[in-house]
Amino acid sequence: MSSVLGRHAFHARIFFNGRFCDANQFRENGSSGHLHLVRVGPVEFVHDDGSVVRADQPALVFYPRGRAHLLRVPEGHTALLLCANIVFEHGVSNPLAGVLPDCLHLPLSEIAGLGATLELLFSEAGSAAPGRELILDRLCDVLLTQVIRREFETGTLSPGLLAGLADRQLALALAAIHERPHEPWTLHSLAGVACMSRAAFTEHFREVIGIPPGEYLSRWRIALGARLLRQGMPVKLVSSQAGYTSPSTFTRAFTAHMGAAPRDWLKRAA
């Protein structure tokens, strides 16, 4: 964890702290994520695909890659919010940002081990002492580090993937897969990105990540395809962006991995 966070750093910048009773649109800017701490709800987060995350109780809502969303407070209510931009080193193409979920919604009552950090953060948020903004920024950094550790402990981030991101050579190949899944990657080209021979790259990748490079690439492409489908993108566009040569090739791979064709899977997900 320390090695990964040391190599793929991020920092928070608080931009709102107080009461809010209106709506605000957040657009994807390609450079930063968004963190919202709901101290008093209700607050609704509306996404472009029509899905809504509602926080009635204190909650953390985190968009690592800055997914577009509308934050709104239902009419007649006033919420208490603390919001920050999360700037990853190298923008949202940062490998760590790339492996986190599109949207992370965690009720604060369900996040074990964060009580002391949240208590200090909310205490500082309500003060008017000099240096408050700087301290809040740093406390948000600590909070997010604890949240990422939680994702690791609950299995969302695998030990192999974290080990890969911490490995200087494998991190190059993983970043290439995450950023450019549409490219026609081969073992030879990925090994070249990692500055290794094909045989050494294949063996080292399997040892560290736990699966062969080709399988990891396939899983990543399918996960990307599922995310784009949920956002309303048609299968034809999804297939090209996820690196498949045709919609039929993508559909076969998606069906084999997810157990249902893209449209059927979308109906089940809905």
**147 CB-near residues (< 8 Å, 6+ apart):** 60, 62, 104, 106, 111, 114
Domain boundaries, the chain: 2-153, 160-269
pLDDT of residue 93: 60
Question: Can you tell me the distance from the alpha carbon of 264 to that of 241, in angstroms, rounded to the nearest whole number?
Answer: 20
Q: What is the DSSP letter of 91?
A: G
Task: Indicate whether 103 pLDDT > 60.
Answer: yes
**128 CB-near residues (< 8 Å, 6+ apart):** none
* 2-153 carries CATH number 3.50.30.50: no
Average pLDDT over the chain, rounded to whole? Answer: 86
The more confidently predicted of residues 168 and 23 is: 23
pLDDT of residue 224: 84
Query: Is-above-0.75 flag for pTM?
Result: no
Distances (CA, A) of 173 to 70, 90, 242, 256: 34, 16, 17, 25
Task: Report the Cα–Cα distance between both ends of the chain, in Å, rounded.
Answer: 35
160-269: CATH number? 1.10.10.60
pLDDT of residue 265: 87
Tally helices (H) and strands (E) across the chain: 12, 9
Question: Can you tell me the distance from the alpha carbon of 261 to that of 247, in angstroms, rounded to the nearest whole number?
Answer: 11
User: In this structure, are strands 43-47 and 23-26 parallel, antiparallel, or unpaired?
Assistant: unpaired
